[in-house]
Amino acid sequence: MNNPGIDPLVGRVIDRRYTVQGLVAHGGMATVYVALDNRLEREVALKVLHPHLAENHNFVRRFYREAKLAAGISNPHIVSMFDQGQDGDLCFLAMEYVPGQTLRGLLQSRPDPNRGIDDDMVMALAIPIVEALVAAHEAGLVHRDIKPENVLISRSGRVKVADFGLARAAGTSTATSTVLGTVAYAAPEVLHADTPDHRSDMYSLGIMLFELVTGHLPFVGDAPLRVAFQQVNEPIQPPSAAYAGSSATFDEIILWTAAKNPVERPDTARELLHRLRSLTPLDDRALTETLRRTAPLPLSAATPANGSLAEKGSTTALPQPVPRRPDRIKAAPVASTTPPSSALAQRRRRRRTWAIPVATVLVLGLGAGGYLWYTEYGPGSLRTLPAVANLALADANRQISTSSLQTRTVEQFSDTVPAGTVIGTVPGAGQVSKDAVVTLTVSKGPEFTLVPLVEGKTQADAEAALKKAGLGVSVPEPQYSEDVAEGLVIKQTFQENERVKSGTQVEIVVSKGREPITVPTDLAGKTRDEAKGQIEGADLTYAATEQFSDTVAAGVVISQEPTSGTLFRGDTVTVVVSKGPELVQVPRVIGKSEADAKQELADAGFEVAVTYSPFDAPVLDIVRTQSLEGGTMVRKGSTITLGVV
């Protein structure tokens, strides 16, 4: 990773979500950074369009098209697209961050830059790249820029294809007078401004395989136009013939994929994938382990970006069209018509007597030679290879043995062909050389894997664990949970270590946290039982206190707490229930002085009124009567009238 101090975006938060941590690489259209997705707490590769291009609506539209195209393809060997957006004048894509290096970096770090890499490593790289193209082509997309700069290798040996910035739907025209892409890997039809299709990706792949095997590009020049001229007019040579010491294992594959005429290339990427798998006994895991073990990777970040850091693979715009080389026609030699001399004729007549035995010997020799040619090189050298697809392996070998052909067997997982059954042969059914070794691809049945336990993990960690196990993931609407915190997985559709087919969809349910419950309102004025029913019916806990009330009847709710808002299940709502008015006992004060009687009644909570009889003023100062009889229970605060003499 480059020094973050030189880039003003480092440390900035983009779209209130992505904190830019460091610069990864500069490309032709954009700059790539490693950033932290603050929402999902994971590192992503942030691809930011160059400012001068962000002002061009066509580039912005193409930039966002990359996100839509890549997001529409789901394959473990294609860099995943997560998000796209705009923050002020910044247009960006957020995609999977792949710590490791590009294939270009791997080539540049090999001990001898003039030699290729070994066959197992080439196969470990080629098969996942072709699997990525299978997914893209079957989704109707053409990559159009296959080159080492756009192949990423993670530290664990996982190979991923990046940069769909030039991708288009198959069959659509470039509609431009220039060719965008890397000239060193561009197919002839692309350089002629013809509409590219999936076979154009096959050509680019063939050129890249040539470079992997030999350590050199097949066509080089001091200017892009010179390289383009060779791409159009010069046939590619077998790697083993072009560079001494190069492996011949991939000669046939490279000549097939890099044919000048698209019709002569593989019809589909899947056809090429089957052919590659027939050349190696290693399965996917063994190939990944081979690459991880034999290709030490630096701690720098790979570059999931359009454009290149290497001059060798830079993207170039080339004028159209590139001229074709005129056909060269050689004149045929003219046979002599001079008659033989008479002397020569006489000598022939003299030899006629011994010519017949010689002719007989010649005829026999020619017959023997013809028979030898017929059996070794002509029609007699051929054998009929029967169609054995969908047969059991033993039956297939039995049928092929009748043609005296040698066989070898490779195994491959299949979801559609039963285990032990032949998927196909290389070469295919029909006439083959008697010396051909027939490769039978035999089904191992579906590939199974063990389901990891993801309950209690974050959604991101759960998805990563399931994808690492080769499983698909589906996530329905999150659900409330009283026990599992928000953002963690509540449950999964398969148990831990349950054995299922690879690619099986595992549904995970993510928690929304505790469910908020609306507090019942307007409980005041309801009876105690009505209030309790409403509170407990909402999965809340009922609690009550009591108090006297002169205005609210006994057993009726006076107030509640809280009065509104939301609580969580099991939380408490407290109501205050009326006990009715407070009653107190009237003290007996007859015979007491006015002052003592008034004090006693006031202390008991009563109001006091006094009348005097028979005079308007007390004479004896003794209470003779009280309006409420002593011992009576009455409402506190009632008025008691005293008669004083």
Token look-up 């009653």 returns 583
Q: What is the DSSP string of 581-612?
A: S-EEEPPP-TTS-HHHHHHHHHHTT-EEEEEE
3-state SS class at 359: helix
Do the bridges between strand 489-492 and strand 516-518 make them parallel or antiparallel, or are there none, so unpaired?
unpaired
In this structure, what is the dihedral angle of CA atoms 469, 97, 300, 182, given to the nearest 10 degrees?
110
CA 370 to chain centre: 61
- Number of H helices and E strands in the chain, helices first, is 17, 33
With residue 400 as reference, give the H or E element that holds it: helix 393-401
d(CA 49, CA 26): 10
Give SS3 for 625.
strand
Percent composition of the chain: helix, strand, coil (DSSP 3-state, to 5): 30, 25, 45
CA torsion sign, 373 to 374 to 379 to 383?
A: negative
What is the H or E stretch that residue 34 is in?
A: strand 30-37
Q: How many CA atoms lie within 13 A of 453 on its CB side?
A: 4
Q: Which residues pair with 421 in a beta bridge?
A: 392
Q: Of all helices (H) and strands (E), which one includes residue 17?
A: none
Backbone dihedral angles phi then psi of residue 50, each to the nearest 5 degrees? -60, 140
Answer yes or no: are the C-beta atoms of 107 and 212 closer than 8 Å.
Answer: yes
User: What's the start-to-end Cα distance of the chain, in Å?
Assistant: 109
Helix (H) or strand (E) holding 93: strand 90-96
User: In this structure, what are the phi and psi dihedrals at residue 501, rounded to the nearest 5 degrees?
Assistant: -70, 145
Q: What are phi and psi of 401, to 5 degrees?
A: -65, -25
Residue 145 is among the residues annotated as catalytic for this protein: yes
Catalytic residue among 37, 118, 145, 284: 145
Strand 505-510 to strand 557-561: parallel, antiparallel, or no bridges (unpaired)? unpaired
Residue 543 sits at φ, ψ, to 5 deg, of: -140, 150
**How many CA atoms, within 13 angstroms, populate the side-chain half-sphere of residue 567?**
20
Pairing type for strands 557-561 and 572-578 reads antiparallel
Distance, CA of 532 to CA of 536 (rounded, Å) = 6
583: left (phi over 0), alpha (psi -120 to 50) or beta: beta
Backbone region of residue 580 per phi and psi (left: phi > 0; alpha: psi in -120 to 50; beta: other values):
left
What does the alpha-carbon distance between residue 269 and residue 132 come to, in Å, rounded to a whole number? 9
Active site (catalytic) residues: 145
